Amino acid sequence: MSEEEQPRSAIDDRLLVDREHCWHAFTQMAEYEPLLVDRAEGVWLYDHQGRALLDGISSMWCNVHGHRHPKIDAAIRGQLDRVAHVTSLGMSNSTTIELTRRLVEVTPQGLDCIFYSSDGSSAVEVALKMAFQYWRQRAEPEPERSLFLAVGNAYHGDTLGSVSVGGVSRFHAMFDPLLFDVLRGPCPDTYRLPEGVRAEDACQHYLDQYEDLLNRFSGRIAALVVEPLVQGAAGLVMHPAQFLSGLRKLTREHGVLLIADEIAVGMGRTGKLWACEWEQVEPDFLCTGKGLSGGYLPVAATLTTREVWNAFLGDYAESKSFFHGHTFGGNPLGCAASLATLDLFEEEQTLQNVLRQGAYLEECLADLREHRHVGDVRCRGLVAAVELVENQHSQRGYEWSQRRGHLACQAAMERGVWLRPLGNVIVIMPPLCCTAEHIDQIVAAVKFGVSQACGD
């Protein structure tokens, strides 16, 4: 029975339960108004009233090939006929093994070993713990390497370890007493440049500060954690060209492991399968999730090198195992969805579409730069941000409490597009299968939202 066919009382009861009992992430429940999605198809979401909304944020940045893709649906159904779940503690299954083989093939060279978890936060937590344990167990131990170096305004998830290396205080300041100390470099922002720094000098300016930290804490840093190219929850901050490769060079020189958090920017979002590929960077750890399963099931993976793997080998009595695990890590249903997702990149030439539609999206958004309350429009593949400001010249943003981004996204729904902001930043991350027609609708909705939230 569809929502339209159900009695009004049943729908009202569901809305009440959602409002009063279902606790939503990053949502003030005192102000929450239910939005129930009944079904989805391609880039479209349909709510309980039958209203169609274009999914402008890929259901939290993870839907890659569209909702209800026949190939992914079939892969999951086929796996159900075999086995739905097998633990990764002491056993495996054919589907997880096949995904492991494929990921080793399609990730940067040297990432030969994979640990599965259920979400991006956990994938980063795994990398942190592995890096810490590695320095204590390798052939020539360096136990004094216990510090992590993170990027300013980073976001790496919501577990305590990933929050520790994160830097968005608005989200996590409450938990500061629970976190471990982390070294933090500057946020390599190309919009809000440090005073006196020109755009062409920004990359070296930021790298010099990281080099200084690596020198000052020489021999004590276990790993540097970075979101390659684009910092998601910081407001889609775009890094200067060659910043990532510069970090890789510095970490090699100082013997520091590099953890690339590709949860948001991986799986084709920037126009290559992995953002690291744009600057030919081979990290020591690569964390992936979100789009790995096409946005269908909670699957995440931490890839690392044979050198790291070898540090965990030994006799049982040596207790060198990686003492960390997730009940559903490497779940066969999720792995089946992930294999189908990878297949579709080839079959549907997804990366080519990202580059084509990403360029069109940037072109369509260009005239928003002239709006007096738009400070910046920035794009990378099918990642785009429109930052609203109170004063364009000074780059002064609106007070967070004014919720300008929220108001703009609410207005966009009147034009049939679902968006979710990051403060004053309107985030645009449609499914990678979107067309020019979809881009047109998204951009029209964003422009309408900006005018409604900030005036003309």
Question: Binding site membership: which residues?
Answer: 120-121, 155, 261, 290, 325-327, 420
d(Cα 175, Cα 180) in Å, to the nearest integer?
A: 11
* Torsion sign (Cα): 214, 218, 219, 220: negative
Match 């991350």 to its residue by tokens.
429
State the Cα–Cα distance between residues 4 and 19, nearest whole angstrom: 20
* Sequence-ordered list of residues with C-beta below 8 angstroms from that of 417, at least 6 positions apart, any chain: 53, 54, 56, 441, 442, 445, 446
Six-digit token pair at 187?
């946020």
325, two tokens: 């695990």
Q: How far is CA 2 from CA 6, 11, 41, 217, in A?
A: 6, 11, 15, 61
Q: At residue 116, what are phi and psi to the nearest 5 degrees?
A: -100, 145
Hey, is 263 helix, strand or coil?
Answer: coil
Known binding-site positions for pyridoxal 5'-phosphate: 120-121, 261, 326-327
Rounded to 5°, the CA angle 358-259-429 comes to: 20
Q: Which residues are annotated as a binding site for substrate?
A: 155, 290, 325, 420
CA-nearest of 43, 36, 45, 37 to 18 is: 36
67 Cβ neighbours under 8 A, 6+ residues apart: 40, 41, 42, 43, 44, 45, 55, 59, 295, 431
389 vs 277: CA distance, rounded Å: 33
Q: What is the CA radius of gyration of the chain?
A: 22
Helix (H, G, I), strand (E, B) or coil at 435: coil
Residues 113, 97: contact at Cβ < 8 Å? no
Find tokens 């998601």 and name the residue: 232
User: How many whole angstroms separate alpha carbon 79 and alpha carbon 332?
Assistant: 7
CA atoms within 13 A on the CB side of 12: 3
